[in-house]
Each structure stands twice: as structure tokens, then as C-alpha cells.
Structure 1
Amino acid sequence: MSTQHIATAAFVKVSIGSPSGNRVAQLIQRGGVIPGGVDEQQLERLVDRGLIEAVAVEDADETEEQEDLDEGVYKGVSVKDLKADLAKRNEGREGDAVITPVEPGNRPQIVAALLADDAE
């Protein structure tokens, strides 16, 4: 999980860039995400004044595949056992009939490949 800041005021002006170098001002409307590059001290001042708020956000790459995939009968099965089941199913298969996960070492892809094979 990571933290983002969201504008709660109608408009919030933030300065992006190094405090000792060139800075660029940007206006953010209510509900808009405060962009990266804003100084931590500025963020703290804006939070204290009630102009923005910090919100916890789940990282997309961690949750997208895990939430979308219902593991069904494979829930709780170890990766080692999943790979063994995959190898057993591939015995005697050739060409396009061989089950090949998109990422062979990644559990969600292995489960997805086995579920697709079950559906056939």
C-alpha cells in the first residue's frame, strides 16, 4: 500500500520541484491527485490546513490479478503441487495442446492456465 494526497479544497496550488531550484506551480481541483515532486513540508502544511488529505491506495500491480482470479479448487494448493499437476497434464501432449502459463513461475498465471485447461 502507498499513500497519495487528494485535494479537498475547491482548488489547491502546489509547487513542484526542488526548494532550492526551479519550481513550477500547478493548480489541482477538488478530488484531484497531488502529483509527485511536491516537497514533504509543503504536503504537511496543506494537510494541516485541511486543503488536502492523505489516503491509502493499494498498489495496482499487487491486486489486479489476485482479485480477478477465483482459484476455485486450486485455492490453498502450493506452487510446487500446481507445477507437478501441470507437468502431469502435459505428459503426452504436443504443440498447442501443451499447457504453458504466461509466467511459469507466477502462481496466478499457473492457476489461470490450469483453470483454462479444466474448462476445455
Structure 2
Amino acid sequence: MNTSPLAVVQAQLDAYNAKDLDALMATYASDAQQFAIHGALLAQGHAQIRPRYEERFAEPDLRARLVNRSVIGNFVTDVEIVTRNFPEGRGTVEMLCVYEVVDGRIARASFATGEKRLG
């Protein structure tokens, strides 16, 4: 497996879109942390991260479309449009995702969620 930060984050996005939970978890360090940008810890370690994705993968229309990506050293920043199945119906949300890759795995990820758009 190519462990460059770009390759790791692309493998994570590919696994997300394939809803391949095992492949997605393989991109994260076992003690990885997920945060809201400038905010709270959302999950730490595989035991907390895995159920977050399991729940999301149950959405039939789930798909992330990469809009922009920047790589600076071991940091990868993605801007994505994510199609979701919200309680109110199908829609999209913009996501800003900042990944820090250490030793070939995502060590920290921070997320900012834009406005939900239905339709």
C-alpha cells in the first residue's frame, strides 16, 4: 500500500464511497482521533470511529464527491459535497475535511459541516 498522505486519504475516500468499512478503518491509526474543526473530540480509536461509519454506510445514497484537495506535508485538506439520506429526505452537505497522516495512517481528522441542502 502506498503510504503517502495523498494515497492514504484517497484510499479512505474510495473506501467511504464503496462503503467498505474494513478498508476505511485500515486507513486510520488504531488510536486516531476525529474532531469538529476548532472543537470537540467526536471519536477516538477504532472502537468509536467504526460505529460512526457503520451508521453512515446504512444510508443508500451516501456518496462523497471531491471538489478540491490540497496537500501540504503530511496534511491533506479535502472539500467535498456529500450526498446523504437525512430524516427529512435526500440532500447534500459541504464538508471540509483536514487529515493528518502519520506513519501511513490517518492519525487525526477534523471536519466542518456546511449547510444541509435538501433535494
TM-score (norm 2): 0.24
The structure number with the bigger radius of gyration is 1
More strand by share: 2
Instruction: With the length of structure 1 as denominator, give the TM-score of the two structures.
Output: 0.24
- Where is the helix percentage greater, Structure 1 or Structure 2? 1
